[in-house]
């Protein structure tokens, strides 16, 4: 079954067209994977609405994706919108614009559902035993999801309003950011983490998987890649020491220095400093709360898109079975 999944976040909109082995193993075979930085959430933290320019950028990307979906003849399409799309005042304008271009109604999903889908996608990177507690951290533009579970599925999930775009606009105003700005961003991150620890047992974490562009970009920096190579990044496990070296360099680099990095996507140049700071603070906190058990983190290129594609294929297959 060929399906198309679109994830529209605060910073980027992404497409996965994949063949799903159903009935069978449920394994995905990637046909097309695209990412376009549209900065949909630009200014939302201050205004509470999508700007006309942000909507225009997003609709242009949806037009491109709709053409790809038609070309590859996907049998079903699911479009989900996260974080920035939950509470904006002009959400209906966004939904109508997508619907007219794609023919499906976008779903503005809750953070808990987003977290579960991310866990399902990210977990495919592991060959794990049934008892190991794995924490998936999906660090996005406007929100960060935490999901703790085992190979049997997610057990605890929560979403927080911290992300690379949100924290850049809120804290990082100089180039490079001043120490006071970094301190304020780190303090707010720790405050969110304390809240997370109140609703889920972060201290049980044994393995950490990070997903989304901030995590993979930090990994690319640590690997000293000459180009962004998703195949090399996917599944890479690095020590906290190696990751912190990259975090520190990315946080304290100037915009010009970040733009010159060969693996850096142009749309991440402005926000990677805040994202890297959040990621580094999360890893430090996990190391502390697990009493030193967490000493590394794994980067995954599989995330909510893969979870969406798998869930969409299952839903369509179930509907077909009911009507047959």
User: What CATH number is given to the structural domain containing 234?
Assistant: 3.30.420.150
In a domain, 194, yes or no: yes
Q: How many structural domains compose the chain?
A: 2
Hey, is 28 helix, strand or coil?
strand
Angle at the Cα of 12 from the Cα atoms of 7 and 16, rounded to 5 degrees: 40
pLDDT higher than threshold 70 for residue 24: no
Do 76 and 136 sit in the same domain of this protein?
Answer: no
Q: pLDDT tens-digit profile of 198-225?
A: 999 999 999 999 998 999 999 999 999 9
Residue whose C-alpha is closest to residue 147's, from 186, 79, 201, 220? 201
Alpha helix ranges (H) inside 73-149? 91-102, 111-122
In a domain, 145, yes or no: yes
In a domain, 175, yes or no: yes
The Cα–Cα gap between 2 and 266 comes to 31
Full residue range of the structural domain in which residue 265 is found:
122-300
What confidence category does residue 120 fall into, taking pLDDT thresholds of 50, 70 and 90? confident
Do 105 and 197 sit in the same domain of this protein?
Answer: no
Do 180 and 262 sit in the same domain of this protein?
Answer: yes
Contact 209, 125 (CB under 8 A): yes
Do 157 and 296 sit in the same domain of this protein?
Answer: yes
In a domain, 315, yes or no: no
Q: pLDDT tens-digit profile of 137-174?
A: 999 888 898 999 988 888 999 989 899 999 999 999 89
In a domain, 307, yes or no: no
Per DSSP, the residues of 161-202 read S--HHHHHHHH--SSSPPHHHHHHHHHHHHHHHHHHHHHS-G
What confidence category does residue 26 fall into, taking pLDDT thresholds of 50, 70 and 90? low
The CATH number that applies at residue 43 is: 3.30.420.40
Do 87 and 181 sit in the same domain of this protein?
Answer: no
Do 257 and 226 sit in the same domain of this protein?
Answer: yes
Tokens of 303: 């995330």
Phi and psi angles of residue 268, each rounded to the nearest 5 degrees, phi first: -105, -5
Average pLDDT on 240-252 reads: 96
Do 105 and 126 sit in the same domain of this protein?
Answer: no
Do 88 and 137 sit in the same domain of this protein?
Answer: no
Helix-helix angle 111-122:304-323, to 10 degrees:
100
Contact 240, 295 (CB under 8 A): yes
What H or E segment, with its residue span, contains residue 217? helix 213-222
Q: pLDDT tens-digit profile of 48-82?
A: 899 999 999 999 999 999 999 999 999 899 999 87
Strands (E), the chain: 2-8, 12-20, 28-37, 76-81, 107-108, 134-139, 144-150, 153-160, 207-211, 237-239, 296-300
In a domain, 321, yes or no: no
pTM for the model: 0.79
In a domain, 311, yes or no: no
What confidence category does residue 308 fall into, taking pLDDT thresholds of 50, 70 and 90? confident
Do 173 and 211 sit in the same domain of this protein?
Answer: yes
Of 58, 87, 111, the position where a domain reaches its end is 111
* Helices then strands, each counted (H, E), the chain: 12, 11
Q: Bigger pLDDT: 293 or 108?
A: 293
Contact 243, 276 (CB under 8 A): no
The Cα–Cα gap between 291 and 284 comes to 11
Of 66, 92, 111, the position where a domain reaches its end is 111
In a domain, 146, yes or no: yes
Of 82, 111, 140, the position where a domain reaches its end is 111
Neighbours of 20 (CB within 10 A): 22
The Cα–Cα gap between 306 and 132 comes to 22
Do 102 and 127 sit in the same domain of this protein?
Answer: no
The Cα–Cα gap between 72 and 37 comes to 22
Contact 21, 7 (CB under 8 A): no
For strands 76-81 and 2-8, give the pairing.
parallel
Do 197 and 54 sit in the same domain of this protein?
Answer: no
Phi and psi angles of residue 277, each rounded to the nearest 5 degrees, phi first: -60, -45
Do 221 and 293 sit in the same domain of this protein?
Answer: yes
């Amino acid at each position: 079954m060929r399906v198309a999944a679109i994830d529209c976040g605060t910073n980027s909109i992404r497409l996965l067209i994949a063949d799903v082995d159903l009935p069978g193993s449920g394994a995905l075979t990637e046909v097309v994977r695209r990412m376009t930085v549209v900065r949909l959430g630009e200014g939302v933290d201050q205004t509470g609405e999508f700007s006309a320019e942000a909507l225009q950028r997003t609709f242009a990307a949806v037009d491109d994706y709709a053409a790809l979906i038609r070309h590859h003849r996907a049998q079903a399409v699911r479009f989900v919108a996260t974080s920035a799309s939950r509470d904006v005042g002009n959400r209906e304008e966004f939904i109508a614009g997508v619907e007219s271009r794609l023919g499906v109604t976008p779903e503005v999903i809750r953070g808990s559902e987003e977290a579960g889908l991310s866990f399902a996608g990210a977990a495919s990177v592991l060959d794990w035993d049934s008892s190991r507690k794995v924490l998936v951290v999906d660090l996005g533009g406007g929100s960060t999801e935490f999901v703790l579970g085992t190979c049997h599925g997610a057990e605890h999930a929560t979403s927080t309003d911290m992300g690379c775009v949100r924290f850049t606009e809120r804290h990082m105003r100089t180039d490079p950011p001043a120490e006071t700005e970094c301190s304020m961003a780190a303090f707010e991150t720790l405050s969110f983490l304390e809240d997370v620890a109140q609703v889920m047992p972060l201290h049980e974490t044994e393995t950490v998987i990070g997903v989304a562009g901030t995590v993979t970009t930090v990994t690319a920096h640590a690997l000293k890649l000459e180009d962004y190579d998703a195949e090399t990044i996917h599944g890479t496990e690095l020590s906290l020491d190696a990751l912190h070296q990259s975090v520190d360099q990315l946080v304290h680099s100037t915009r010009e220095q970040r733009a010159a990095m060969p693996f850096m996507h142009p749309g991440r140049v402005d926000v990677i400093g805040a994202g890297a700071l959040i990621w580094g603070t999360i890893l430090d906190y996990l190391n502390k709360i697990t009493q030193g058990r967490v000493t590394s983190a794994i980067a995954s290129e599989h995330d909510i898109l893969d979870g969406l594609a798998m869930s969409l294929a299952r839903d369509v297959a179930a509907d077909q079975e009911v009507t047959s």
